[in-house]
């Protein structure tokens, strides 16, 4: 692919593994167990796009409130509130009752998202700021709003189709129920054009972070598990030190 068809990830050294970045306009699944850095990965992708690539972005939160996300990311000196004020970042909140997306609730625990309203809101926000990048954090969070697993799978399809039609490069954040699984609902990896697997590997008596590119349509890529670290500037992978550490995908 030509350079213009690749989207720089903003994740330190990851573009080397991807032979240039993510294919533009594609949907990428970023998955892994709790604590592997998936949310950091997603926000870093958006922040880099806005500040370094002139590509506005949208963050869709289904679990944490926007204020919590903004607070968490201040440790990396990522001022999301400033980007919002400048109309470069749109945050669609479906995690809290004050969300702009309508709910109909059957009890105090379960809240059902109105998917038509959500997709309309998503389209309006995308067009209003000309967003090129979108992060959905996270797919498992839809369980808090949609009861039926079949309806969740249908919702995932609709979200992905809508974002493809809008021409956005999208990251879906998800996780499996068991060690080594890449998705919660068994459909995310099939509707996605690429899969990035994040993990913590116990090696020599300590946990080390690893990243594996499971698949990426449209580009040649490294397929071995590579070391990954979280620094004060965000996430970074180490492509020059491809490791033979066993991945959870192999266990």
Is the pTM here over 0.85, yes or no?
yes
Q: What does the pLDDT read at residue 143?
A: 87
> Can you read off the two tokens belonging to residue 179?
């060690």
Question: Domain locations in the chain?
Answer: 3-250
Q: Report pLDDT for 91.
A: 95
- Predicted confidence (pLDDT) per residue in 111-159, tens digit: 457 889 899 999 999 999 999 999 999 999 998 888 888 999 999 999 9
CB count, 10 Å around CB of 197? 25
Superfamily of chain region 3-250: P-loop containing nucleotide triphosphate hydrolases (3.40.50.300)
β-strand partners of 172: 29, 136
pLDDT tens-place string over residues 63-113? 999 999 999 999 999 999 999 999 999 999 988 765 545 444 333 333 457
Phi and psi at 52, nearest 5°, equal -115, -20
**Both structure tokens of 41:** 């990965």
């Amino acid at each position: 692919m030509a350079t213009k068809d690749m989207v720089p990830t903003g994740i330190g050294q990851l573009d080397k593994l991807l032979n240039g970045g993510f294919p533009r306009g594609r949907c990428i699944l970023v998955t892994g167990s709790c604590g592997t850095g998936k949310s950091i990965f997603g926000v870093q992708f958006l922040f880099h796009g806005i500040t370094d690539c002139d590509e506005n972005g949208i963050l869709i939160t289904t679990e944490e409130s926007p204020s919590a996300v903004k607070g968490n990311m201040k440790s990396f000196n990522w001022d999301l509130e400033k980007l919002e004020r400048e109309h470069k970042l749109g945050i669609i909140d479906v995690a809290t009752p004050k969300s702009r997306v309508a709910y109909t609730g059957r009890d105090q625990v379960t809240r059902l998202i109105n998917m038509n309203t959500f997709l309309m809101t998503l389209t309006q926000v995308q067009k209003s700021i000309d967003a090129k990048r979108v992060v959905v954090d996270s797919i498992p969070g839809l369980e808090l709003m949609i009861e039926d697993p079949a309806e969740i799978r249908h919702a995932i399809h609709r979200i992905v189709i809508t974002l493809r039609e809008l021409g956005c490069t999208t990251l879906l954040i998800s996780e499996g129920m068991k060690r080594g699984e890449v998705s919660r609902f068994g459909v995310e990896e099939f509707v996605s054009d690429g899969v990035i697997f994040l993990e913590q590997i116990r090696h020599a008596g300590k946990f080390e972070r690893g990243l594996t590119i499971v698949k990426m349509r449209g580009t040649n890529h490294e397929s071995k598990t590579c070391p990954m670290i979280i620094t004060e500037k965000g996430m970074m992978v180490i492509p020059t030190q491809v490791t033979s550490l066993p991945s959870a995908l192999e266990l």
